[in-house]
Structure 1
């Protein structure tokens, strides 16, 4: 990054629209994350249409700020009412809620805020220094590599985004079929349009995302409208928010370790904040001198998972920006946001569009720091958000869904697309399917199709031999095979360990 680009980055970040986007992103992310049932993925999907009319730097900065802030916001309800606002906050509830029962809820929130800020900042710095050199790998990519990387992206999300690998892959196939709707790029013939002119341009990505992630979640919450939500007592937030020096000394090593773990886990395609937070928690317990205190309201049990789950955000953006591989379901939606702005992941992001990319990365660093300041100052206010009724939230979210879907193309047909995909997303969730592979199929399907067709022309005769004569293609094929079979191997390994543990206990008893 030269002095000229640095000057453009500073100018971009000091613009009124970018500053406003940063504050709105952090505030909005914390609020949405604190509401049980609403996720970072849903928040990003809902606000992608808002960024369409914004400058690329402001729009993408707001989305990344929402991403990291929503993961932190989920810790508020997890710690205070034992109801994780996001899946990534589940590990924080173990010790966080026990601290609340001891009257240390405010301190637990303070520790979660500081840890999230540090974790996010560490991962953002990793993104700044690791992404540019890694992006050079994409220069060696041609049609065969783009086909294989699209297939790789589908298999990892399909196998890890759902509890069942078969259901995940099936959802990915559905996405591929939806992505094939429209005019064939090479022949010019319409496919699966059934004579509809509106379908010739294909299914609009943003309305589909909004329906699958946002409208379907409102439908799920409508089923639980009769259930009473736990309320946060005034005593839970009494006392000091900031931990003292002695407490911080006991956790700073764990915070840095978990930040590194979270960044690495985020770089693994298919792994998300929930995996990162549990790994961070388990490693903190393993290295701790006070293992027996974990789960009883120990402050390190809050610091470790919170720094890890926020560190996942920057790590997940590394494969997204360099190779176009989403590291989580949220970054799958962010990939859609990039494409709406006309930005294609790869080396061009760090050369042709370097001023935009580096502005977003530095904006992400500022958002992580801003999260800490706003989180500490507004901790006692944000806790009240988790008690907001679904009766108030549902119509607001539905209104945003309709307006966001219509605003992209000013077309009422897109609103109907959003409604249809909302219904599809609802039934998918009810039957154990995850919507993320569908979106990935829609995004990566056309890339895979073009790559395969061009590869066939390049190979001329033997396509399989052609692939195996290209080193990067061989590596991608190996990674694809590993990603397909790794969930089965992991399940077998867990089952084997569980059986060994049971045998050991039986031997002791006998």
Structure 2
């Protein structure tokens, strides 16, 4: 009952005219930034943070939070329509969202993305309200060994993202791991794989990698369509066109529920966040599906699960930031800085010392997500109209936004050249039958896997048994072993295709 009373008071704060205006500005800007490829919430919050210095703390945090989870909604738009992830966490949405758009079902794909995002965010807010103390206790149980074992399981599961051979998926994960260690070693400070290029000492840009693998590579793959006026097949934009196919809504409830659970869990773990959560959700849905061959060709589950997951993670990411003062990613680090700028010390006492700010912010999450749903559903028709634009007109604009988005990340022309080189590499991978999605996940998890592996061995004085002797890490390692055994067993049981019968030559008598 205390929670409901506090939430009621939070709504009174969030619904004040000034705070409501700040929340609307935040979600609108976040949605727009999510649609624009490559800019992302990190750059947007960095640019708008000085504006909040003169605002009241509650209004300032509501606007910055609106930008963060608003970008989670908008990022699905370009992923589905243009195969171009506006935010890194939406890269996996390209795998099934864009094929649906090419089949003339862009409206249905966008509707499912908006619906799953709203459900995932709503449940994430409920988790934040009622289970924050419990989730904080769970987060305290995770040390370097647990993080390593959990992320190793994620890397092995990433091989299931590939449409074809699991061995090709594992190969792409290893390529991602190699690309992920480019840069300065966090322990020794030595530059690795930089080849005396100063720009590589900070590592490759995640935005450049995602844009190259999914944006530039797709442009090169469909370059033969630019000469003519061919466009993606579209249908008239009516409310009927937004309807899902027969049985698709029923098939989506399970992925939404599982994706929300995965996102809520990863959101509270520092260093993970919505990008890893969305990839994990996709891998889970492909693994539990009875027809995994549909994934990558327009499966609605491939949109519902990841979109629910990354939005749930975007909400629960505020739990360690506000309750522990531990930011889960760079965006949460900026939010932490915003709290300190307004003389608010994050920690377990924030609820008791600043109840107006804490519960007002939670209430603003409800309001902001409702505003996003109201904003996005009427705009689906406008977004889908992009599909009627010929390739020869739309791809110069896509290239322009890629260059602007990549350049704005670090204000460096080197990243623009990097995204072109990565795009050519990604095009060659696709032509050779390799999928880029496991590579991206290996790139994201690789540095974290290495860092936690070395830290665990340092704390255990080189004792490798630390990964199996601790209960949580031991359970994750057992799951890794079962996954490897299951994949090997399924490959061994697969019977080779029978050889085609060879017809006997006609006899001379028959001739």
The two structures have a TM-score, normalised by structure 2, of 0.64
Candidates 114, 121, 125, aligned match of 2:122: 125
Aligned twin of 1:298: none
Gaps of 5+ in 2: 50-63, 83-92, 263-276, 292-298, 319-327, 338-345, 351-356, 499-511
How far did 1:489 drift?
Answer: 5.9
- The whole-number CA distance in structure 2 between the counterparts of 1:200 and 1:91 is 37
Aligned twin of 2:145: 144
Superposed CA offset, 1:138-186 (max 9, x none) = 2211111122222222222233244322222212212222222222222
Aligned twin of 1:386: 387
Aligned twin of 2:476: 476
- Structure 2 contact 255–304 (Cα < 8 Å) conserved: no
**SS of aligned partner of 1:185:** coil
Aligned twin of 1:331: none
- Structure 1 contact 65–364 (Cα < 8 Å) conserved: no
The count of residues paired between Structure 1 and Structure 2 equals 417
- Structure 1 contact 116–306 (Cα < 8 Å) conserved: no
**SS of aligned partner of 1:212:** helix
Q: Does 1:372 pair with 2:380?
A: no
Superposed CA offset, 1:455-491 (max 9, x none) = 1122225322x22221110121123334445556667
Matching of residues 303-342 of structure 1 within 5 Å: 309-310=303-304, 312-318=306-312, 338=331
- Structure 1 contact 173–441 (Cα < 8 Å) conserved: yes
**SS of aligned partner of 2:230:** coil
Instruction: Give the superposed CA RMSD.
Output: 5.0
- The whole-number CA distance in structure 1 between the counterparts of 2:347 and 2:158 is 23
How far did 1:264 drift?
Answer: 1.9
- The whole-number CA distance in structure 1 between the counterparts of 2:70 and 2:303 is 19
Of the structure 1 ranges 454-463 and 14-23, higher mean CA displacement relative to structure 2 is found in 14-23
The two structures have a TM-score, normalised by structure 1, of 0.64
- The whole-number CA distance in structure 2 between the counterparts of 1:471 and 1:274 is 24
Superposed CA offset, 1:366-391 (max 9, x none) = 4234333444xxx3x55543121111
For the structure 1 residues 470 and 454, does the alpha-carbon distance in structure 2 shift closer, same or farther, using more than 3 Å as the test?
Answer: same
Aligned twin of 1:262: 256
Gaps of 5+ in 1: 29-42, 75-84, 98-104, 283-304, 325-334, 500-510
**SS of aligned partner of 1:463:** coil
- The whole-number CA distance in structure 2 between the counterparts of 1:350 and 1:423 is 49
- Structure 2 contact 27–67 (Cα < 8 Å) conserved: no
Of the structure 1 ranges 401-410 and 121-130, higher mean CA displacement relative to structure 2 is found in 121-130
Of the structure 1 ranges 54-63 and 469-478, higher mean CA displacement relative to structure 2 is found in 54-63
For the structure 1 residues 371 and 177, does the alpha-carbon distance in structure 2 shift closer, same or farther, using more than 3 Å as the test?
Answer: same
**SS of aligned partner of 2:202:** coil
Matching of residues 426-465 of structure 1 within 5 Å: 426-464=427-465
How far did 1:431 drift?
Answer: 1.8
Matching of residues 52-71 of structure 1 within 5 Å: 53-54=47-48, 56-69=64-77
- The whole-number CA distance in structure 2 between the counterparts of 1:53 and 1:383 is 30
- Structure 1 contact 46–401 (Cα < 8 Å) conserved: no
